[in-house]
Amino acid sequence: MKRVRRVLKWVLVALALAVIFLAKPAYTHARAASLLLRFSGDGAPSGFATFASHEVDEEDATIDTPFGSRRARFYAPRGVDGAPGMVVCHGVHHLGIDEPRMVKFARAIASAGVVVLTPELKEIADYHIDPKSIQTIGLAAMKLKERVHRSGVGVLGLSFAGGLSLLAASDPAYAPSIDFVVTVGAHDDLERVAEFFVSDRIPEPDGSSLSVHAHDYGAVVLVYMFVDSFFEGRDVPAARAALKSWLWEKFDDAKELAQKLSEAGRAKIQLVFDHREDALKPEIERVIASHRDQMRRVSPHDALAGLRAKVFLLHGEGDTVIPPSETRWLVHDAPEGSVEDALVSRVIVHVNLEGAPTARERFDLVHLMAGVLEAADREAPVP
């Protein structure tokens, strides 16, 4: 009974505020509320689930890219003819499209009546932010567009995949296939975020700065990305293997692999394991400076001139991996009129829904997702 009351509170708040603000049809808000409830794990009363959701069929697929075939998976709402499409891109996690939260999110979106395609971003799954992932996202959009027979599809990117999704939508090769982009915890400038990992400060668009302790995970990812710049040549293979095990949370394996390093290499990797960014700061800053051009190629900052898609931006207020200032930068850098909605929310923790939202916070989340579903529904069928 307590769970049912909590679910009904989500729905009633969404519907009531939709009527008050005349924002979007109440039905779309109900679909959005149901989607968020399924993702958050609160469940839904059977009557409401029947009203707002569909059974989902899953199908493995592949995407051909210039650098090899990539795994992918379709999630299709059962019994929905002419459903719109959305590419959903995973964040930095070694399980990629198989990561449980990713699978749950894709199923939730599909159950709302949208065909979902999740492409394997091999580089991101290996903790690398690489231009190849931009191509994979764009090719996935083209493949899904062909599958759903629509004029275009949406792309939703989690974490660093959000920034890369915006770059795919700005590329003339893929822009015609992408009608809208949704980002959750995205970056605008990888160099700025990398510097945040060791400084605990990051600039805001208005000239101020945000001060918060960066998540220790960020610096480890950065060292792993540029491992051959941090370690001597003969130490690189063992350092890469040890850091990968650490990122996979196989800490004992990581420490054992680290013993294969030279004495200097062991000392340095221990600083990484101990999260001693203070001691590593001069070297990390040197590496950032030497890879500035590489970081620029995977940063939306100054690269969104070709963006024609509508944009929805969502970020956690307390995100310490990619700070919320990055979404404010995206609002600043996106072409005028392209941002449909931008929300920095206390109840988002990087890419997860957490905490106990207030009624207004519930509505803000539902309202943004309702806008996304409405954008998907606007995709025109191809005769």
Beta strand ranges found along 78-114 (DSSP E)? 85-89
pTM: 0.89
Nearest Cα to 21, choosing from 370, 378, 383? 370
Amino acid, single-letter form, for residue 229: S
- By 3-state DSSP, what share of the chain in percent is helix, strand and coil, each rounded to 5? 50, 20, 30
Pairing of strands 115-119, 85-89: parallel
Pairing of strands 209-211, 201-203: antiparallel
The span from the CA of 76 to the CA of 85, in Å, is: 9
Nearest Cα to 230, choosing from 171, 280, 183? 280
Contact 244, 237 (CB under 8 A): no
68's CB contacts (< 8 A; 6+ apart) are: none
Spans of the chain below 70 pLDDT: 1-26, 39-52, 350-356, 380, 382-383
**Helix 2-21 vs helix 359-377: crossing angle, to nearest 10:** 70
pLDDT tens digits, one per residue of 336-365:
999 999 999 888 775 566 666 787 888 888
End-to-end CA distance of the chain: 48
Burial label for 102, CB within 10 Å (0-12, 13-18, 19+), is buried
The span from the CA of 133 to the CA of 62, in Å, is: 15
Amino acid, single-letter form, for residue 180: F
Burial label for 224, CB within 10 Å (0-12, 13-18, 19+), is buried
Q: Is the dihedral of CA 366, 371, 376, 381 positive or negative?
A: positive
Query: Number of helices (H) and strands (E), helices first, in the chain?
Result: 17, 12
Q: How much is the pLDDT for 23? A: 45
Conformational region of residue 16, where left means phi above 0, alpha means psi within -120 to 50, and beta covers everything else: alpha
Domains and CATH numbers, the chain: 56-189+305-355 (3.40.50.1820), 192-203+208-295 (no CATH)
Cβ–Cβ contacts within 10 Å for residue 209, how many? 12
Contact 352, 218 (CB under 8 A): no
Task: Specify the DSSP class assigned to residue 81.
Answer: T
Q: How much is the pLDDT for 380? A: 66
Q: How much is the pLDDT for 353? A: 64
